[in-house]
């Protein structure tokens, strides 16, 4: 029988949380069965050109439920030999109790949870997986696939309990090579209908060429616009000063002090008048804005007020 290697093993966040809670509340080491389905997922590699896509598909095992009898050696003996009668009864009862009873209740494999031990499969767990691989309880939809998924849960050996309470790894038991192959375990928090929409994106199109002449013309145009703005600001300042320039400040000393002082005071009075006029305009506009806000507030209150029955 040929092996079908998984690309990864997925499990939903609530299912993993429920499994870890069952393990944490047990009195000792426990084990159980894993159920789910196996799908062939074609990756959606999106690109921005017409490069031909790779039609290869990936095999993904998805764990949807589990069965934990809260006792160790639930379907096998101390030597790792599986009791086919007990296993068939547990699998049948679990699938019968499931609400769907469809492909989401296929028997995928098993899990083992032990405390304060290295996170690597033991000899007993190896023989249990080997015994399961020899059974003819293949998953629906792929008759060549045996229940070969194995999840191992442990608690930290020393003081790592302060940081996390459980460690876990996923394996696939290879029948031909008779070994555990570590697999990536992905935690899915979204529905299965949306998982195919997420892929990788590769920008392959080159950037358009930028002409140096156009860039230089843009810089020159920007400088001209800046000079025009400065000139406009200077004209507005001259209108406020009404022809008074910095050179006239020299006339404040000497015989022409009286006439220059009078002209400067006259300019100052005109500027104060303009500032007063500007302040009155701002005050009127603020009053209009406040009136409009009050009007809008009344309209919002009128709309939000419930209609009497």
What 3 state SS string does the chain have?
A: CCCCCCCEEEEEHHHHHHHHHHHHHCCCCEEEEEEEEEEEECCCCEECCCCCCCCCCEEEEEEEEEECCCCCCCCECCCCCECHHHHHHHHHHHHHHCCCCCHHHEEEEEEEECCCCCCCCCHHHHHHHHHHHHCCCCCCCCCCCCCCEEEEEECCCCHHHHCCCCEEEEEEEECCCCEEEEECEEEECCCHHHHCCCCCEECCCCCCCCCHHHHHHHHHHHHHHHHHHHHHHHHHHHHHHCCCCHHHHHHHCCCCHHHHHHHHHHHHHHHHHHHHHHHHHHHHHHHHHHHHHHHHHHHHHHHHCCCCC
Q: Global pTM?
A: 0.54
How many other C-beta atoms lie within 10 A of the C-beta of residue 74?
18
How far the first Cα of the chain sits from its last, in Å, is 75
Query: Tens of pLDDT along the chain (309 residues)?
Result: 456 788 889 998 889 989 999 988 888 889 999 998 888 876 555 555 555 555 445 788 889 889 988 888 888 988 888 888 888 888 887 776 664 444 456 889 999 999 888 888 999 999 999 988 887 544 444 444 578 899 999 987 765 555 667 889 999 998 788 889 999 888 877 555 555 555 555 556 565 665 555 555 555 566 667 777 766 666 665 665 555 555 565 665 556 666 667 777 777 788 888 888 888 888 989 899 999 999 888 888 888 776 565
Task: Please give the pLDDT value at position 214.
Answer: 52
Cβ pair 151, 111 in contact under 8 A: yes
Q: What is the pLDDT of residue 102?
A: 47
């Amino acid at each position: 029988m040929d092996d079908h290697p998984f690309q990864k093993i997925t499990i939903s966040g609530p299912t993993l949380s429920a499994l870890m809670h069952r393990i944490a509340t047990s009195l000792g080491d426990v084990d159980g069965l894993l159920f789910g389905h196996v799908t062939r997922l074609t990756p959606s590699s999106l690109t921005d050109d017409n490069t031909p896509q790779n039609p290869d598909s990936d095999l993904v095992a998805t764990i949807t439920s589990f069965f934990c009898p809260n006792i160790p050696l639930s379907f096998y003996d101390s030597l790792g030999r599986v009791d086919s009668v007990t296993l068939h009864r547990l699998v049948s009862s679990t699938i019968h109790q499931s609400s769907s009873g469809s492909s989401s209740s296929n028997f995928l494999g098993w899990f083992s949870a032990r405390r304060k031990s290295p996170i690597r499969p033991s000899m007993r767990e190896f023989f249990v997986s080997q015994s399961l691989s020899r059974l003819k309880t293949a998953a629906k939809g792929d008759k060549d696939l045996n229940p070969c998924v194995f999840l191992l849960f442990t608690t930290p050996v020393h003081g790592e309990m302060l940081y996390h309470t459980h460690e876990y790894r996923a394996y696939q038991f290879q029948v031909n090579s008779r070994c555990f192959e570590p697999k990536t375990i992905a935690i899915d928090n979204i529905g299965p209908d949306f998982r195919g929409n997420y892929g990788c994106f590769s920008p392959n199109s080159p950037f358009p060429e930028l002409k140096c002449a156009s860039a230089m013309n843009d810089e020159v145009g920007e400088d001209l616009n800046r000079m025009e703005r400065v000139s406009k600001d200077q004209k507005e300042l001259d209108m406020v000063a009404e022809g008074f320039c910095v050179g006239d400040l020299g006339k404040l000393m000497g015989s022409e002090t009286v006439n220059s002082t009078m002209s400067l005071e006259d300019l100052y009075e005109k500027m104060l008048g303009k500032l007063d006029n500007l302040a009155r305009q701002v005050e009127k506009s603020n009053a209009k804005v406040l009136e409009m806000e009050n009007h809008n507030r009344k309209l919002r209150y009128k709309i939000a007020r419930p209609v009497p029955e």
